[in-house]
Amino acid sequence: MNFSFSEDQLQFQASVRNYFTNEVTPERIRELWQRDSGRCDQLWGELVELGLPAFCVPEAQGGMGLSPLDFVLIAQEAGYAGLPEPLVDTALVGVPLLAALDAAHTERRDGWLARVAAGEARLAVGEPGAALVADAHVADLLLLAHDDEVYAVPRADVQLVRNESVDPSRQLFHVDWTPSAQTRVASGEQGRALWAAARDRAALGSAAQLLGLAKRMVDLAVDYSFERKQFGKPVGSFQAVKHLMANVAVQIEFAKGPLYHAAYAVAEGQALAGVRVSHAKLACAEAALLAAKNAIQAHGAMGYTWEVDLHLFMKRAWALDKVWGDAAAHKARIRAALFGGAIQPGAGHTF
């Protein structure tokens, strides 16, 4: 059996990587920090031209009709580039949540999906139980939770209060809104199922971005260590520095399997998809946090300054580690599956 990605998937990933390399540069990210919104309509328009927000929109609504397995490589590249725009939240979390609404909301569902596919709307999704919503200020529609209910609320119907983030590229807002029958799109068992699926997709997207961030921080540290010299030699030639980066490289390789397995499980609707996602989030977060720690050490005192690009990606990793389930929550889910008998431990039953 072939467990690798298809040639089409890898080629699309390469084209997105090339675009991000040329257009989503550290200089452009710093420029966006100076704007009140922290976002760029031109950049979002370019993402629309590439078809990225429409990736998971069904073909009937003008999208590409692809799955989380197809999108996970794109989310990984978004992490590597430090993309500020809410691409992952819109395409991987919000779009499938809208698409899963029942026939009672067909007109509203299809209308918003068509607008997303056409580049006329962005989505923001509020993590159930969380106080803040990312990118609520540029979203045309907010998907919000109240108990087990799902609400689709236009931005005009909410009041926003900005909150500072450890990552200057993340725009976080407290959303003041009132639940109503007009904006409720799911409740009860259906609402619980929709939010459970949305949590898994969001955690999967965060994991993919964390893996990309880990790779970017290693690349930055390697480049810097060969530019900086001590005793007439690049510090990257010293064994101690090599070991720092090698340790991260091992973690990155070990995180790829759980990430891609989780993406497949989510795309196929497998029974243990949630556990796979938790495994992926833990593995990718561990790799990214170790990358941040070791990259700072490789940079020396310069690693703590705003002048170097490392902190753009390091702070994003710190932020994404805590969203859509922190380490404790994901470990608890894996522990419950192991001790509850859902997963058989040991060789031949690895997860």
Q: Does residue 224 sit within a domain?
A: yes
Q: Rounded to whole angstroms, how far apart are CA atoms 246 and 233?
A: 19
**Residue 300 resides in a domain:** yes
**Angle made by CA atoms 208, 162, 31, in degrees to the nearest 5:** 65
Distance between CA atoms of residues 150 and 128, nearest Å: 10
Nearest to 265 by CA among 10, 52, 102, 72: 72
Residue the block writes with tokens 């550290």 = 26
260 vs 103: CA distance, rounded Å: 32
CA atoms of 150 and 143, how far apart (whole Å): 7
Containing 72, the helix (H) or strand (E) segment is helix 68-81
Phi, psi at residue 169, to the nearest 5°?
-80, -15
Task: Please list the residues that pair with 133 across neighbouring strands.
Answer: 173
Q: Which two tokens stand for residue 292?
A: 């941040």
In a domain, 63, yes or no: no
Give the pLDDT of residue 2: 64
Evaluate whether residue 119 is within a structural domain.
Answer: no
Place of tokens 């259906």: 190
240 domain-assigned = yes
What's the one-letter identity of residue 165?
A: S
Say how many domains are in the chain: 1
Domain assignment of residue 237, given as a range? 190-339
User: Could you give the CA distance from residue 133 to residue 135 in angstroms, rounded to a whole number?
Assistant: 7
CB 351 within 8 A of CB 277: no
Q: What is this structure's pTM?
A: 0.93
Question: Which of 240, 250, 251 has the alpha carbon at shortest distance from 297?
Answer: 240
Residue 326 to residues 130, 204, 221, 296, 323, Cα–Cα distance (Å): 12, 13, 26, 23, 6
**DSSP assignment, residue 217?**
H
Identify whether 259 is part of a domain. yes
Q: Are 88 and 47 in contact (CB under 8 A)?
A: no
Domain-located, residue 306: yes
Question: Half-sphere exposure (CA, 13 Å, Cβ side) for 181?
Answer: 0
Closest to 72 measured CA to CA, from 13, 141, 156: 13
Residue 64 counted as domain residue: no
Q: Return the closest-CA partner of residue 324 out of 90, 167, 134.
A: 134
Predicted pLDDT at 231? 47
Q: What is the pLDDT along the chain (351 residues), one digit of tens a residue?
A: 467 898 999 999 999 999 999 999 999 999 999 998 999 999 999 999 999 999 999 999 999 999 999 999 999 999 999 999 999 999 999 999 999 999 889 999 999 999 999 999 999 999 999 999 999 999 999 999 999 999 999 999 999 999 999 899 999 999 999 999 999 999 999 999 999 999 999 999 999 999 999 999 998 888 776 565 454 555 544 455 667 778 888 999 999 999 999 999 999 999 899 999 999 999 999 999 999 999 888 877 777 788 889 989 999 999 999 999 999 999 999 999 989 988 887 777 665
Structure tokens at 155: 């931005």
In CATH, what number is assigned to the domain containing residue 201? 1.20.140.10
